[in-house]
Structures are given as structure tokens and as C-alpha cells.
Chain A
Amino acid sequence: MAGQYFDIAHMLAGGLVLLSMTLLYQDRMFGLLNVFALHAVVLSTSVAWQGHIQGAPHLYITALIALVLKAIIIPVALRRMVVRLGIHRTIETVVGVGPTMLLGMGLVALSMVVMLRATATADPLAREDLAFALSVVLLGLLMMVTRRNAVSQVIGFMSLENGLILAATGAKGMPLVVEISVAFSVLIAFIVIGVFLFRIRERFDSVDVAALDAFRGERR
């Protein structure tokens, strides 16, 4: 029984990593949004599963939040925005997709090494989970770093945060998980609103196209 639990949880977590890689791979805006929605779905299932095996009902709330907010509302909102603001449908990358993928592999490997070394004592479920979570986090960060579009960066951040939720839920019996996920949802809402409010079309770097080069932290 336990083995089965383990396999399913393991599979879900692994699937999350795989989807993160796919996010890195995506170069069309809508494709990106779809993959992210999937990402959220998988996350919520894994969270729910964790709630089931840990017998922690409050995790279902987290799962619900993840599902509703990240799998439905935000992708839709972003899609609207892309349409409304006429954002390029293609994603401009700093590093080409290929190298990014390689880098991602490297990151996954790194997180495996780090975590498996670190959690030699912890129970295997937690180990794998943490390792996967760390790789999701790193991949999310990598995405934020290597993508130029605001939207893709937002998505990068959200996938990063998915990793966090994964870790939090994977940590057996961790208190405050719900509160934390709520807090993060607020954070994400802020970001999305910010993107929407400040008409951030292309980049994070400036809140307005007009101000793109006028201001880089200090008047020249």
C-alpha cells in the first residue's frame, strides 16, 4: 500500500518537473498558458493526494485554491490580457531553447544531488518530493531569468511557487500550509494585477513602454 502511495505521489511530482521543462520549451504564448494550467492541475492533484495519504483534510483547501486560481482564473485572465494588450504571441528568449533545456537538466541534476545528499535520514517519500520540488523551483527561476516577456516571467514565478507548494505539502504534517498558500495566492494576484494595471506589455523592466529607456534606476 505504502509503495503504491509512494509511486503515485512520486509520479505526480515527477510530472510536475516534466511540465516545468515543457514550460521552458514552449515558445508560443498560448501554448505556455495551457501548459501552465496543466501544471496547476497536476499540482492540485498531487496536493490532494498528499492530503489523502497524510490524512490532512486542510490540504484539500490548498488543492482547491491551486485548481481554481491557477488552473482557471489566472490563465484565463492572462489570455484576455494577451489579447487585449496585443502582446506578441511569440516568446523572446535570452538564451535559445536548446541551451535553456540543457541548463534545466543541469538544475534538475543539481537539485537531486543536493536533496538526496541532504535528506539521507528523512523518509523516502519526503526525499523524492523535496528533490522534485527544488527542481521545480529552480526551473521556475530559470524561466524568469531566461524569458523576456512579462507574461512568461509571471508564469515562471508561478511555477516556482507551485514548487514551493509541492514542497510544503510534501513536508508531512507541516502546519500553516494553507495560510502560506493563501498568502502566495495574494502575492500572485498582486503580480497579475500589476502586470495588468501598469500595462506591462513586453518586459518586467519598465512599467511603461514610454519609460523603457528613460529610467534605469537613476537619471543619467
Chain B
Amino acid sequence: MALIRDLAVQGAQMLLVLVLAPLLLGFTRKVKGRLLRRRGPPVLQPYRDLLRLIRKEAVIADNASWLFRSGPYMIFAATWVAAALVPTFATGLTFSWAADLIAITALIGSARFFLALVGMDIGTSFGGIGSSREMMFASLAEPAMIMIVFTVALVAGSTQLSNVANYMQMHASLRVSLGLALVALIIVAVAENARIPVDNPATHLELTMVHEAMVLEYSGRHLAMIELAAAVKLLLYVSLIACIFCPWGLAPADGTLAAYATGAASYLVKLLAGGFLLVLFETSIAKMRVFRVPDFLGIALMLGLLGTLLLFVSRSF
């Protein structure tokens, strides 16, 4: 009985991230539009786009390989699973111990790996640009992420997100290392989701684009899958930050229905807040040249490493 309920909660979580992801995207676009004195697209626009894309027939290049066709699904699946493992409204989900924070990072890595591969499949120069730049960013963002994980894990004494969240709820305190980790994590999140200032999701100006360059050849349902994966990834990072740094309202393991409800509500609030802050950040800053990005990510890496070092030296940081 308990197992069934756990599975139900887990399923709910998976569905939730799937459903909320486009919403978050739409929300950010809307807010951005507003901030730019535009009306902006309707909040539900992403859903419409996805549905339209899914229904269309897929046009793929003559020399596309099986990898090109199966890639989007794998990318989406990896991202989705990763997102499903991050506690959104409740901790101690059934499968939360199936993969810890490091594994989640690695899952995102797998998704990126395939994305970069499919970018090179057709053999166009744009795909190459996109992939190589994406991997260059990743080669800095991933270690930064790992360092952040170290910091958090050393503070919370665990790499399990549920336990981390619980720990944070129990003894919430202002720590230098955590502050560093937060800043680093935000930088990584911005980079990973190809947001300004690292990349511009809204442009197709060849020289600047990274993410878009990789998916240039996609259309129809494949494109939909990739777009959805991107949305889920954004959601993942927001909820990751939320669950580590403001875990309040998270329902405990085998909590009551009310607890779950409050958890969901608080999660929604956090999501919107996170989205708003993100957009605010984006609109207040200009995109940087590609070869400034390494420095930008290097900061994150350094911050993460610093945090870890501090904790190695003394637990009290």
C-alpha cells in the first residue's frame, strides 16, 4: 500500500515537471516581454508550439543517421529522469536514492553528450560550431557543478538531494561556503540553459548561437522533443536551487496530503520567483562574446572550489 502511494507520488513528480516546464518557459518569456515594455507572448504559447511541432511531419537531411533520429528522445528522456529525481514538492521520493546529485549532474551530461553528437551528424559547419562551443562550456560548467555538489554535500553530509533538503530545513544557517556555492550554481544554471549572457535562446544570428546551432537541422517532433528537454532542464535547475537553498515547505517523506499540497504550492511560488529573478538578471545584462564565457564559468569553478576548500579546512565555514 505504502509502495503504491510512493510510486504515485513519484509519478506525480514526473508528470509535474513535465507539465510545469513549458509553463515556466512561457512565464519567463511573458515577463521578459513585459520588462521590455512589450506585451510578450501568452504564457501558454510554449504548449501550443510543442503541440504544433509534434503534429508536423519531420523533415530530416538526406544523410541523417539513426543517431540523428533517436537522439532527441534520448536527450529528452535523460533530462526528464534527471528532473524527476530532484525533489520538487516532497523529499524522500521512492526513487530519490536511485541517483544522487552527482548522478543527476552526470545525467544532464549524458543529455548534453547526445545533443552535441546529433549536432555533428549532418556534417554542417553550424552544427560543428554549436557542438564544439557547447562542449567547451560544459568542460568548465561540469566541474564547477561538481564542486558545488562537493560544497553542499560536505555541509549536509550527503549527496542525496532529499537528505540535503532535510538537512537544510533542519539547520538552516548562513554559511560562507553555501553562499559561494549559490552564486556558482546560478552562473552554471545560466550557462547550462543557454541564457543570456552566455547564449541567446531567441536568436538565430549564426556567430552568436550555440544551442540553436546544434539543433538547426531539426524539425517537427524531434525539435519538439529537444525544446521540451530544454524547458525541463531550465525547470530542473530552478527547482534544484530551490530545493537546496530554500527547501522550505517541502513535504517530508510519507507526508500527509496537506503537506504535499503545501509543498506543491510553495514549489510553484519558488518556481515563479526563480523565473522572475532569472529574467530580471537577463534583461539587466548584455550577452558576452563566446570567448569571454570561459572566464565567466571559470568564476563559478573557482567559487565552487573555494567553497570546498573552506569546508575541507574547517567544517564551520
A and B touch in the complex (CB under 8 A): no
